[in-house]
Amino acid sequence: LDAVTQTVQWLEDCPLFNAGRGAVFTHEGRNELDASIMEGRTQMAGAVGGVTIVKNPILLARAVMEKSPHVMLTGRGAEQFALENGIETVSSAWFYTEERWNTLQKMLEEEKSKTGSLTHNPDYKFGTVGCVALDQSGNLAAGTSTGGMTNKRWNRLGDTPVIGAGTYADNNVCAVSCTGHGEYFIRY
């Protein structure tokens, strides 16, 4: 669990990935972050959706798992829980990268001219981060973190905060962290 948490935290801090710093932008030009984590031995899990000021959403997901009676918290309430539990928060400017901003601008332009080719460009959706780990005693853990899909709207949540869709771990079966079009993972 520690290896998964630490790895995902590093990747969130790296601006190259669509998670934490470097996350993609919503239609309105915001960063709304999703993350989840699951422990295969206990089947405990924690997830957060649509958080905007939490530096490392994976740390908040883990806190939800370990310090709350719940599995998934979203939006303002999740941020309130972060503040109450000493999880580091930042100004929304922390997540900004020029590349992701430009991608949103291109997509908005394409939307206006109704060409839409970028939506189908695979380069558009890469960058969600995840980690699965197996320890010497056979314990599995998995974690995933993402900014979701560029140009998302209406507080859309993808598969990443949905346990059993974006993240899953069971010592008797497997551990999985998914990336791709979240709507498909949720349905399957």
Residue 153 C-beta: closest distance to ligand ASP, Å: 13
Q: Does 22 bind ligand ASP (CB under 6 A)?
A: no
Residue 88 C-beta: closest distance to ligand ASP, Å: 23
Q: Does 31 bind ligand ASP (CB under 6 A)?
A: no
Q: Does 15 bind ligand ASP (CB under 6 A)?
A: no
Residue 132 C-beta: closest distance to ligand ASP, Å: 15
How would you class 115 by CB atoms within 10 Å of its CB: exposed for 0-12, middle for 13-18, buried for 19 or more?
Answer: exposed
Interface with ligand ASP (CB under 6 A), residue from 159, 162, 167, 175 = 159
**CB environment 88-112: b (16+ within 10 A), e (fewer):** eeeeeeebbbeebeebbeebeeeee
Q: Does 145 bind ligand ASP (CB under 6 A)?
A: no
Nearest Cα to Cα of residue 60 among 22, 19, 27: 19
Q: Does 50 bind ligand ASP (CB under 6 A)?
A: no
Q: Closer CB to ligand ASP, residue 57 or residue 182? A: 182
Residue 90 C-beta: closest distance to ligand ASP, Å: 21
Q: Closer CB to ligand ASP, residue 171 or residue 186? A: 186
Q: Does 128 bind ligand ASP (CB under 6 A)?
A: yes
* Residue 128 annotated as catalytic: yes
Q: Does 20 bind ligand ASP (CB under 6 A)?
A: no
Interface with ligand ASP (CB under 6 A), residue from 26, 160, 167, 177 = 160
Active site residues: 128
Interaction site with ligand ASP (CB under 6 A): 125, 128, 146, 148-149, 158-160, 179-182
